[in-house]
Amino acid sequence: MAKWGMVIDLDKCTGCQACTTACGMENNTLPGENWQDVLYYNVGTYPNTTMKWFPRPCMHCEDPSCVHVCPTRATYKTEDGAVLIDWNKCIGCKYCMIACPYGVRFYTDEKPLLQPALQDIFPSNGSRHTWNPPYKSPHEDWTKGIGIQPRGVVSKCTFCYHKVSRAPAGVADLDEDDPNTKEFTPACVRTCAPKARYFGDLDNPNSRVNKLIQDKRGVRLLEHTGNKPQVYYLGEHGTVPEFTRPKS
Amino acid sequence: MNTNTQTMDSSGSASMLLLGLGAVGLAIGLFASGGLLSDGHAAFNTGSNVAWGLPVVAYVYMALASTGLAIVASLAMVFGTKELYPIAKRCLWLAIALLIGAFITLALELGHPFRLLWAVPAGMQTSSPMFWMGVWYAVALLFMAIKFAMVMKRDWSSPGSKAIGGITFAAEIAAAMTLGFVFGAMSMRPFWYDPMMPVFFVLSGLLAGVAFALFFTNLAYGFSQDNMPAAVRRAMTGILPAIFLTAIGVTALFVIGQMVTASYSNVNETHLVASHVYGSAPFQLALWVGLVLPFALMLGGLRKQVGMQVLAAVLVLVGLFTVRYGYIIGGQLVPMFKGTWYPDLIAYTPSATEWGVFIIGASASLLIYAIGDKLFKLPDSPDEQ
């Protein structure tokens, strides 16, 4: 069984947000419900200032605090390493959102970010879905948090589990350039123009993701939390700037 | 002496007043929370940044006050502090009423409250602090109800009754500590992380419980000690205000300790939030007017006076709510991995719907208490008293 993981090369990432857009289209997320996002940071003070950007999917941690705190086991870890949510079991207590150090979880009953709200333009047709978009993922599976979201639950990145879980057994990497694995590659990886993202089996010593982590000294975010992400970052900017308040 | 015979008329008029207040409150709450019906939880100002808003603060506040009242009742019913027997039944009923109100508030905050009823026992996620919080509060409510039913049958101190009381006490302490653990264990939110939070929740819960006990007992006797039977008067001028004074002092020390420690920290997520929360006017008012002033009022002979007790109780109850609000909301104000989308502390103000949910929970508690005050002879105490 593979242990899927992602590598993001920050030296190659241009911060174009194509990954964010592809994720939203693939997974029918609403504005603001950014399962995948690129975060921008302004660091330093004039004249020594820098703008950093930082792609942030769910880290699909090895020891995820969100799974530990969920009172119903709605959030769970699959054998192949993904952290998913069973929307049929989620009670909407939002404790997982509290416990996630990476801020990757969203409540499906949030106040709409933009007006007019997409839920009003494409209203739900009497089903339990929050909305009824023109394009819907054909792989809806609420036990894995895949598809159009129901009300009152928490949603998050699934590593495009509807694709990844159908990959041929034993494959080391899911690469958009390989015709055999293209269809099973997560949307954010597949769409990344500068090829800053790689996806593969962290348990396979021959996988490209493992080689990259070794050769380019991949780092994980917030190691001190003990969550042990399965997303690794390469490049000079593998740390998130500390929180500061703007000067008034 | 059986104080059962000395129920005052004022209790009846007080319960009618509370019934009316509860009904009006419920109507206002239902009206204010109308957004919940039309927009669901989108009518809340909570979201991915501040996930737990005012309804969670209200739940914690009421649940911990319930624990405090159960502790006061247990001092008599479990630990044999006979001076507190004359108010123990009222405290027990008030604890039940507040816990039900807390549950109602939480249910209106959850995405799927009814799913909880099967998903939590089916999941048996024993690593979740929230799972245990639910277990302990459910046990506490069940055993408080059993204990109350036994007391209604005048079984105050049979071995069985004492055992039920003991289990209730243990479950309440476990529940309050676990509730503290729900927040205090979250190391990814440095403002919350505090190994002593479970202890603080129990002690500050006791303070809220004693304040409620003082207020509602005085109210039941028309805010006059002349209306009180001698045994009640003894409790209300002796041990209860003394416990109140101690609980205020301990809670104030904890709050000042938290304030100083968090403000001193080098960690931005802690000291920036600390200066924002602890430097705010509501928090400073809560500390000085809601804790220090009541402590001063209760220091000397004034603590025996009804007016001072009621004033101090009201100040403490408002102050404690502010402290809980500052802690629970404060811990969520640092945006988590949001970059320049949220370049500052998150601005959160509860919506009218959230206030409505709080008012519904509080009014439900008030109604339940008033019904008990009317029907269940709350001034009762054992015959040997």
In the predicted model, is pLDDT for residue B117 greater than 60?
A: yes
Check whether residue B26 and residue B63 sit in a common domain.
no
Task: Evaluate whether A82 touches A107 at the Cβ level (below 8 Å).
Answer: no
The chain B residue lying nearest A117, using CA atoms, is B42
Task: Evaluate whether B197 touches B180 at the Cβ level (below 8 Å).
Answer: yes
pLDDT at B283: 97
**b/e A77-100 (16+ beta carbons within 10 angstroms → b):** bbebbbbbbbbebbbbbbbbbbbb
Task: Fill in the DSSP letter of residue A247.
Answer: P
Give chain A's mean pLDDT.
Answer: 93
B189 interfacial to chain A (CB closer than 8 Å): yes
CA of B48 vs chain A CAs: smallest distance (Å): 5
User: Which tens digits make up the pLDDT trace of B199-213?
Assistant: 999 999 999 999 999
Check whether residue B28 and residue B85 sit in a common domain.
no
Residue numbers of B between 97 and 116 with CB closer than 8 Å to A: 110-113, 115-116
B254: in domain? yes
What is the mean predicted confidence (pLDDT) over B115-120? 95
Cα-based distances in Å from B188 to A80, A225, B184, B332:
26, 7, 10, 10
Cα-based distances in Å from B138 to B106, B146, B168, B190, B336:
13, 12, 10, 30, 33
Check whether residue B267 and residue B136 sit in a common domain.
yes
User: Which tens digits make up the pLDDT trace of A38-56?
Assistant: 999 888 888 998 888 889 9
pLDDT at B175: 97
Check whether residue B85 and residue B213 sit in a common domain.
yes
Per-residue pLDDT band for B17 (boundaries 50, 70, 90) equals: confident
pLDDT at B185: 95
In the predicted model, is pLDDT for residue B1 greater than 50?
A: no
What is the mean predicted confidence (pLDDT) over A144-158? 96
B193 interfacial to chain A (CB closer than 8 Å): no
Residues of the domain holding B263: 46-333
The chain B residue lying nearest A42, using CA atoms, is B340
In the predicted model, is pLDDT for residue B15 greater than 50?
A: yes
Q: Which fold has domain A4-234?
A: Alpha-Beta Plaits (3.30.70)
Check whether residue B184 and residue B288 sit in a common domain.
yes
Asked whether the beta carbons of residue A109 and residue B45 sit closer than 8 angstroms, the reply is no
As a whole number of angstroms, the distance between CA B366 and CA B94 comes to 9
Q: What is the CATH number of the domain that holds B182?
A: 1.20.1630.10
Q: Which residue has the higher pLDDT, B135 or A245?
A: B135
ipTM above 0.85, yes or no: yes
What is the mean predicted confidence (pLDDT) over B317-333? 97
In the predicted model, is pLDDT for residue B229 greater than 80?
A: yes
Check whether residue B233 and residue B142 sit in a common domain.
yes
What is the mean predicted confidence (pLDDT) over B126-142? 96
Chain B residues closer than 8 Å to A107 by CB: 41, 46-48, 51, 111
pLDDT at B10: 52
A106 interfacial to chain B (CB closer than 8 Å): yes
B343: in domain? no
What is the mean predicted confidence (pLDDT) over A210-220? 94
B182 interfacial to chain A (CB closer than 8 Å): yes
What is the mean predicted confidence (pLDDT) over B73-99? 94
pLDDT at B2: 42
pLDDT at B4: 43
- Minimum-distance CB partner of B51 among A71, A94, A101: A94
Of A175-179, A242-246, B141-145, B179-183, which gets the smallest average pLDDT?
A242-246
Asked whether the beta carbons of residue A54 and residue B128 sit closer than 8 angstroms, the reply is no
One-letter amino acid at B78 equals V
The chain B residue lying nearest A54, using CA atoms, is B339
Helix (H, G, I), strand (E, B) or coil at A199: strand
Per-residue pLDDT band for B3 (boundaries 50, 70, 90) equals: very low
CA of A169 vs chain B CAs: smallest distance (Å): 30
- Minimum-distance CB partner of B47 among A37, A68, A111: A111
- The pLDDT > 70 percentage for chain A reads 99
Check whether residue B269 and residue B280 sit in a common domain.
yes
Q: In what order do the strands lie in the sheet with A231-234?
A: A173-174, A197-201, A4-9, A231-234
Per-residue pLDDT band for B12 (boundaries 50, 70, 90) equals: low
Chain A residues closer than 8 Å to B40 by CB: 109, 151-152
Chain B residues closer than 8 Å to A111 by CB: 42-45, 47
pLDDT at B9: 45
In the predicted model, is pLDDT for residue B13 greater than 80?
A: no
Residue numbers of A between 136 and 155 with CB closer than 8 Å to B: 151-153
- The pLDDT > 70 percentage for chain B reads 96
Q: Quick one: how many helices (H) and strands (E) in chain B?
A: 15, 0
CA of B206 vs chain A CAs: smallest distance (Å): 26
Per-residue pLDDT band for B11 (boundaries 50, 70, 90) equals: low
Check whether residue B359 and residue B312 sit in a common domain.
no
The chain A residue lying nearest B345, using CA atoms, is A245
pLDDT at B163: 94
pLDDT at B6: 44
User: Which tens digits make up the pLDDT trace of A182-206?
Assistant: 999 999 999 999 999 999 999 999 9
Check whether residue B267 and residue B358 sit in a common domain.
no
Q: What DSSP element (H or E) covers A12? A: none
- Minimum-distance CB partner of B52 among A89, A98, A111: A98
Check whether residue B20 and residue B160 sit in a common domain.
no
CA of A132 vs chain B CAs: smallest distance (Å): 17
A243 interfacial to chain B (CB closer than 8 Å): yes
What is the mean predicted confidence (pLDDT) over B355-377? 94
Q: What DSSP element (H or E) covers A50? A: strand A48-56
Nearest to B244 by CA among B179, B170, B296: B296
What is the mean predicted confidence (pLDDT) over A194-223? 95
In the predicted model, is pLDDT for residue A236 greater than 80?
A: no
Nearest to B166 by CA among B189, B139, B185: B139
Asked whether the beta carbons of residue A73 and residue B129 sit closer than 8 angstroms, the reply is no
Chain B residues closer than 8 Å to A152 by CB: 40-41, 110-112
Helix (H, G, I), strand (E, B) or coil at A9: strand
Per-residue pLDDT band for B22 (boundaries 50, 70, 90) equals: confident
- Minimum-distance CB partner of A39 among B47, B128, B338: B338
pLDDT at A51: 86
B340: in domain? no
Check whether residue B86 and residue B19 sit in a common domain.
no
Give chain B's mean pLDDT.
Answer: 92
- Minimum-distance CB partner of A243 among B130, B269, B332: B269
Cβ atoms within 10 Å, residue B345: 18
Check whether residue B282 and residue B361 sit in a common domain.
no
Q: Which residues contact B159 (CB under 8 A, 6 or more apart)?
A: none
pLDDT at A171: 95
User: Which tens digits make up the pLDDT trace of B257-295?
Assistant: 999 999 999 999 999 999 999 999 999 999 999 999 999
Helix (H, G, I), strand (E, B) or coil at A40: strand
Work out how many domains chain B is built from and give that number. Answer: 2
B42 interfacial to chain A (CB closer than 8 Å): yes
In the predicted model, is pLDDT for residue A94 greater than 50?
A: yes
